[in-house]
Structure 1
Amino acid sequence: MTSATHRSAERIGHTEQGPRPLPPLAEPRAGRQPETVDTVLENGLRVIAARHGAVPMVELRLRIPFAGEDAAHPARAEVLAETLLTGTERRDRVRMDTDLAAVGGTLQAVVDPERLSITGDALASGMETLLDVLTDALTEASYPEHEVSGERDRLVERITVARSQPRTIAREELQYHRYGDHPFAREVPQAADVAEVTPEQVRQLHRDAVLPRGSTLVLVGDIDPEATVETVRRMTSGWHAAGAARELPALPEVVGGDVRLVHREGAVQSQLRFSAQAVPRTDERYPALQIANLVFGGYFSSRLVENIREDKGYTYGAHSTFEFTPDNGTILVDADTASEVTAAALLEIRYELGKLALVRPSEAEVESARQYAIGGLLTSTSSQSGLASMLMNVAALGLGQDWLSEHPDRLRAVTHQQVADAARWYVPTAFTGVVVGDAEQLGEQLRGLGGVTLP
């Protein structure tokens, strides 16, 4: 092939007048709202069923509010989550796994300070089997002695390892720095507390806390939503209780202040974790704040990533995200750096926070972040699993499918001035946080910056 008939990609991208301009982006297609039924059953269980027939599968999400004030609650809750699906009066662990496998199904339980979450999937034709195994566990879980002792011992080992990890340490220190002894701060129990948990304590916790009223079940897939709700109604009729699942107590507001240095002897890296108060997802200011956050550090083209990753090479990753509870929202900023550049990275983070709050983002920055937010939402809800998870996320805030479907329009309606106003939430004095690292190496650097409490 001669040069006259073959042109490289570089040559195709240029004209005699210079680089060939990129064509404008096409208008994004509007997301199609799936057929959805959202109702509350007689036992207090909220059920959301949505048709999404891309593949002959069904995705399941169950959220049970699972807060507890007792200091022993986190350890018992972890053991319960590990053993909930290990046996019932009708099925042992092998039978549960066999019944699920017959319909291509899985179920898994995890717990955090807010909720007990059960996720699963199966062939759409096997949905009743999936629900049967689930409701069997919810109503008749037996927590056999040998299963509890075995899972408890394995959990002790995993927690011991997890609590030695820098990211776990940083998260725990940030939680206690923000919220003190609030139950929300108790994310990882002590291994010694887990080792003391007995099967009877787990059974009692199940009786007291695994309750339908206030819980939410989401089913998304190749299903008939109306018929699915009736199936759930029939199959969960034996799951009932007088009380309601326990919601997390309201969180105190995050107050800006000094960053606290947490000593981790011999560390060669530092974990920087900062937080500020934001607004709930239901607040009318949230869409503008979402765009402002993306401009700051919410995606790879953000200012923070450009500064401390691309330009200065202080970190492989810098992020700014939101954390939501039903009536609250906070901003989280994180980066991991080498010890020798920790102070410099902190300085640059403060600089970018101040710059965003005082210098309004450009039209190009706002538009890029807006398109990313809209595209990300449409992409995340395009699959059955993504839609199920997003429906559960917004359901936990008292919202539903309509909120998801309307959010792209809210983002499109945000003005440049509204983003500039929202950016004022990022003034550096609104933030507090922790730096976890070797105080012997970091102390003098950070003392010179100010605004850091040393150990």
Structure 2
Amino acid sequence: MSSATHRTAEEIGRTATGPRPVPPLGEQRFAADLSHVDTELSNGLRVLAVRKATVPLVELRVWIPFAGTDVLHPATAEVLAETLLTGTARRDRIAVDTELALIGGDLGAGVDPERLILNGTTLASGLPTMLDVLGDVFTGASYADAEVARERERLIERIAVSRTQPRTIAREALQKQRYGDHPAVREVPRAEDVAVVEPEQVRALHTASVLPRGSVLVIVGDIDPETIIGDLEKALGGWASDATAARLPALPELSGGNVLLVPRSGAVQSQLRLSAQTVPRTHPRYAAVQMANLVFGGYFSSRLVENIREDKGYTYSAHSGFEFTDQNAVVNIDADTANDATAAALLETRYELGRLGMVPPTAEEVESVRQYAIGSLVTATSSQTGLAGQLTALAATGLGPEWLAEHPARLAEVTAEEVAQAALDYFAPKRFSGVVVGDAELLAPKLTALGDVTVGAPAE
């Protein structure tokens, strides 16, 4: 094509009468409309089974509340997650890996202060094998001495690296600032605690805490939701206990106010993390608050991104979003900045929070975020993996596929006035507290001059 006929992106996006309008969302078919079963097995395990036969695969998630108060619980839990799939009384590590490979399957485990979660994928034809392995793991995981020792050493190395990462340091500082000594704070165990974890402690934790009652299994894919329940009962019926999986104690409600500057000597970048209490998904105002968040900083065309990234270049990425823990919900603001832009970035972030309430979102902004929220929900649930992830997150608070099916209508009904009121009620600057992690010698003079910023102890 010659240069005379080449059109720029701007030219393509315009018509003779002005910018080419973004087409409205068409009618969408939501994955949650597909057939499903929401029931409980005889052992107390809640099951959400959804048919989504787009490909001959099955996605499986097991969500087990896994809170603990013992000082070594985070370390023992991490070792358990690393060694849960390394062998049982019937299968060693090689046998587990081989059987999963033969069915095109994969199974992994991870843990945090709230939950132990297993993620599995398999060809639909291999699901009986996957379920047999899963039942075997829950009832007979062996935690062999050699496997625990091997994974313990690997974990110590990973923790040592993780604790040098700025984002890990900032996350830990934010958690301590928000929740003090609450068990939810202990997301990354100390290496010295991991070093003293013994196999018998891991086995005892499995017996006491890897429990079906109070847990949830989500299974999505090329299945019959009605008949799969019998298969699950057969495969997992032996996993039983009278006890209930332990949930985290209620988190304290955030009151806003002070920002803590956490010294990190010699850092060339700063991590800005702010947080405020908000409403859970079950709240009648959640849809309006969700849309107010999108206007503020929840997607690329938001006010915060336009200000501190596009206009002023203070950061490469800025974002605000929700964090859900059990029945608690907060909204977080994240930005990483160069030292010389840190105070200005905090000032502009506070300014945008205030402007959101004082200069309400326009009708155009509201319609834009409405389409984004509905469209992104459709996209997020369009694949088996995405739908399984969404349902697992919802199941943690007792919700199910119905919430996904109904939420687009809730978003469609939100008015501009409701978004404006949500902005005023939930995004006022005084509601936000948080941390800045960086070189205090360089940052303190300007940050403390802004007000409501104090200097804390150095990051560990």
Q: Normalised by the size of structure 2, how large is the TM-score?
A: 0.96
Q: Distance in 1 between matches of 2:220 and 2:328?
A: 27
Q: Distance in 1 between matches of 2:316 and 2:28?
A: 34
Aligned ranges 1:76-95 → 2 under 5 Å: 76-95=76-95
Q: Distance in 1 between matches of 2:240 and 2:24?
A: 52
Q: Distance in 1 between matches of 2:73 and 2:19?
A: 63
Which amino acid in 2 is paired with 1:25?
A: P
Q: Distance in 1 between matches of 2:19 and 2:319?
A: 33
Asked if 1:368 is matched to 2:402, the reply is no
Q: Which runs of 5+ in 2 are unaligned?
A: none
State the match for 2:99 in structure 1: 99
Aligned ranges 1:51-450 → 2 under 5 Å: 51-424=51-424, 425-450=426-451
> Deviation of residue 348 (structure 1)?
0.3
Which amino acid in 2 is paired with 1:453?
A: T
Q: Distance in 2 between matches of 1:12 and 1:197?
A: 62
State the match for 2:6 in structure 1: 8
Q: Distance in 2 between matches of 1:14 and 1:222?
A: 44
> Deviation of residue 29 (structure 1)?
2.2
Partner of 2:333: helix, strand, or coil?
Answer: strand
> Deviation of residue 445 (structure 1)?
1.1
> Deviation of residue 152 (structure 1)?
0.1
> Deviation of residue 128 (structure 1)?
0.7
RMSD of aligned residue pairs (Cα, Å): 1.5
1:13/1:20 contact within 8 Å kept: yes
> Deviation of residue 14 (structure 1)?
6.0
Number of residues of Structure 1 aligned to a counterpart in Structure 2:
452
> Deviation of residue 451 (structure 1)?
1.1
State the match for 1:451 in structure 2: 452
Q: Percent identity?
A: 61
Compared with structure 1, are the counterparts of its residues 362 and 84 closer, same or farther at alpha carbon in structure 2 (3 Å cutoff)? same
Which amino acid in 1 is paired with 2:78?
A: E
Partner of 1:352: helix, strand, or coil?
Answer: helix
Q: Normalised by the size of structure 1, how large is the TM-score?
A: 0.97
Q: Which runs of 5+ in 1 are unaligned?
A: none
Q: Distance in 2 between matches of 1:360 and 1:194?
A: 50
Q: Distance in 1 between matches of 2:14 and 2:423?
A: 38
Compared with structure 1, are the counterparts of its residues 98 and 13 closer, same or farther at alpha carbon in structure 2 (3 Å cutoff)? closer
Q: Distance in 1 between matches of 2:94 and 2:385?
A: 26
> Deviation of residue 79 (structure 1)?
0.1
Q: Distance in 2 between matches of 1:23 and 1:428?
A: 33
Which amino acid in 1 is paired with 2:44?
A: G
Which amino acid in 1 is paired with 2:24?
A: L
1:87/1:93 contact within 8 Å kept: yes
Partner of 2:138: helix, strand, or coil?
Answer: helix
Partner of 1:85: helix, strand, or coil?
Answer: coil
> Deviation of residue 157 (structure 1)?
0.4
Partner of 1:316: helix, strand, or coil?
Answer: strand
State the match for 2:37 in structure 1: 37
> Deviation of residue 12 (structure 1)?
6.4
Q: Distance in 1 between matches of 2:259 and 2:93?
A: 48
1:51/1:221 contact within 8 Å kept: yes
Q: Distance in 2 between matches of 1:72 and 1:129?
A: 34
Q: Distance in 2 between matches of 1:223 and 1:113?
A: 32
Q: Distance in 1 between matches of 2:85 and 2:215?
A: 18
Compared with structure 1, are the counterparts of its residues 312 and 134 closer, same or farther at alpha carbon in structure 2 (3 Å cutoff)? same
